[in-house]
Chains A and B, each alone.
Chain A
């Protein structure tokens, strides 16, 4: 009996320590990613990197200034379309939707959210690149907004649903019509959560590469036109990392550090807005 119990205790100790090891391994990958990027990218980070244009093959130095502005342009475009549409769709799902249509739209939003980003890229290509006869920042913004809409819609819905019932009833009992209750009571009450969802959504799309390679594969110069392809941080990392030059590799590391820094800052600050733990958008 005692030997059986000691065996059970031994198994308990072994398995429970094994789970702790799993957790440590999972968390340490984050630090390995961070450490590796800071170590390799930090070496080539300097002021020129942020202010200069890229140099040609075989030359030293150069920067990614146009990729930073290009990324900003594409992501802003995507946000201008994606955030309001996603927000209003989320309001519908939370406040107005009936059973069948609500289920259908919610389900479709989740499906769209799960579509591989490369497929979104192909779709944007068939719709905008073909019809406009060329790559453009607009096509890239369109592709990214398609990813942002379902994320924003679902997170907006989720946070509106968390507004206590008593607040809705209070507003309606005071004689407010439904849209007034939504605009002046319910949405303001869920504001923090909605903002968090939006920041997380924008952070997620700003790191997306696959939808950009068929819509805005980049260029070497300053150019703010919406109808021209723009350079962007993720695409620069992809092309430089696969290019056969040490200078390009250094630039890829530095660009990776900048991109990861931006994404992590956005994520951490979004989570500070609502102290409550948020799970990954599903």
Chain B
């Protein structure tokens, strides 16, 4: 029972490149294998975090995210109990403080580098700013402990307290270690990301935008503010998300200056804790439930940075496609 299709003549093999295209298959399979490794490792990472936090997920459920109690020393009157809220709070407060400083500073610098500076100076300065991004986090922590913390304790924080001490966020004793110092250090660390990505976004704005604005009699600032920045808006927002993701996950520098206090404190001068720094400090000694709680914090941190990173990627992709006209 030969069907019409089966009766068709067999497709002739390509005579020359037959054995070579076999090599193509091998090369393809080999590189595919290693590319898939990236996928496998990432999935495995999530699975491992999920499995290793089993104990606390079973015991506290979603209440883990909303509880502010962190007690690793079990006593008869107060059993061992874990909640993530002080750390989520600390992570968000320090990241917010960091962006409050680094966004205006970074976008300002990016405008200068993209719009004002002659190309040679712009490239030189950008190079140095990207070197700043290469400085390891632990070195920022080292400098912060011995220079930023004492200055904050003796000069900056008392000064702010004198002027704005009536506000609850600027009250209480000034230790030097705490949310404000951590935010300041993070702002310096996130600055290069904001500058570098925002500068690219501004540079990819078509030249005609500027020329049209200037030809209509706008000053350089008006041309930048009204014609260029709206065009680069998404890219700049993308750079902010990128910086936010870095600030949320930053470990060493924050751990060295945050002060390590697992409470929710209103004053920015008070000592606090972040997700990453509590993991760094307590994980080496943690066992059983305590260890599971820290792994669950890692899972929370992972989810938080993933969400922010995904937003950043989306913004950057959208803006570069629009700006450069590449599809």
Question: Is chain B a partner of chain A in the same complex?
Answer: yes
Write the residues of chain A forming the contact surface with B, with a CB cutoff of 8 angstroms.
Answer: 8-9, 11-12, 15-16, 18-23, 25-27, 29-30, 33, 36-37, 40, 84-85, 88-89, 91-93, 95-97, 104-105, 107-112, 114-120, 122-123, 125-127, 146, 149-150, 153, 175, 177-180, 182, 200, 203-204, 207-210, 213-214, 217, 234, 237-238, 241-242, 249, 252-253, 256, 259-260, 263-264, 267-268, 271, 277-280, 282
Pairwise interchain contact B136-A26, C-beta atoms closer than 8 A: no
A218 to chain B, nearest CB (A): 11
Pairwise interchain contact B136-A259, C-beta atoms closer than 8 A: yes
Which of chain A's residues have a CB closer than 8 A to the CB of B26? 179
- The listed residue (B28, B134, B249, B295) touching A122 by CB distance below 8 A is B295
B97 to chain A, nearest CB (A): 17
| Distance in angstroms between the alpha carbons of A112 and B146 in the assembled complex | 33
Please give 17 more A-B residue pairs, beta carbons under 8 A apart, in addition to A96-B32, A114-B245.
A15-B221, A16-B221, A19-B111, A23-B117, A33-B132, A105-B36, A110-B313, A118-B251, A119-B298, A149-B38, A153-B35, A234-B136, A238-B138, A241-B138, A242-B145, A263-B136, A282-B197
Which of chain B's residues have a CB closer than 8 A to the CB of A252? 142
Which of chain B's residues have a CB closer than 8 A to the CB of A9? 219
> Which residues between 80 and 135 of chain B lie within 8 Å of chain A, taking CB atoms?
104-109, 111-113, 115-117, 123, 125-135
Which of chain A's residues have a CB closer than 8 A to the CB of B115? 19
Q: Does B75 contact A (CB under 8 A)?
A: no
Which of chain B's residues have a CB closer than 8 A to the CB of A267? 131, 134
- The listed residue (B42, B116, B139, B191) touching A260 by CB distance below 8 A is B139
A202 to chain B, nearest CB (A): 12
Pairwise interchain contact A238-B256, C-beta atoms closer than 8 A: yes
| Distance in angstroms between the alpha carbons of A263 and B200 in the assembled complex | 24
Query: In this complex, which of A19, A40, A127, A260 has the most chain B Cβ atoms within 10 angstroms of its Cβ?
Result: A19
Q: How many interface residues does B have (CB within 8 Å)?
A: 99
- The listed residue (A26, A91, A107, A116) touching B248 by CB distance below 8 A is A116
- The listed residue (B28, B134, B146, B245) touching A203 by CB distance below 8 A is B134
Pairwise interchain contact A29-B251, C-beta atoms closer than 8 A: no
- The listed residue (B20, B38, B301) touching A150 by CB distance below 8 A is B38
| Distance in angstroms between the alpha carbons of A85 and B35 in the assembled complex | 8
Q: Does B242 contact A (CB under 8 A)?
A: yes
| Distance in angstroms between the alpha carbons of A179 and B280 in the assembled complex | 45
Which of chain B's residues have a CB closer than 8 A to the CB of A210? 137, 251-252, 276, 280
| Distance in angstroms between the alpha carbons of A77 and B118 in the assembled complex | 43
Pairwise interchain contact B23-A280, C-beta atoms closer than 8 A: no
B211 to chain A, nearest CB (A): 17
| Distance in angstroms between the alpha carbons of A280 and B107 in the assembled complex | 16
Tell whether A260 pairs with B49 under 8 Å between CB atoms, given A19-B116, A118-B276, A177-B20.
no
Tell whether A214 pairs with B284 under 8 Å between CB atoms, given A23-B112, A150-B38.
yes
* Complex A-B, nearest 5 residue pairs according to Cβ-Cβ distance, in ascending order: A207-B136, A116-B249, A22-B108, A92-B31, A177-B20
* Chain A minimum-CB-distance residue to B133: A280
Tell whether A27 pairs with B301 under 8 Å between CB atoms, given A22-B109, A92-B35, A179-B26.
no
Which of chain B's residues have a CB closer than 8 A to the CB of A279? 130, 196-197, 200
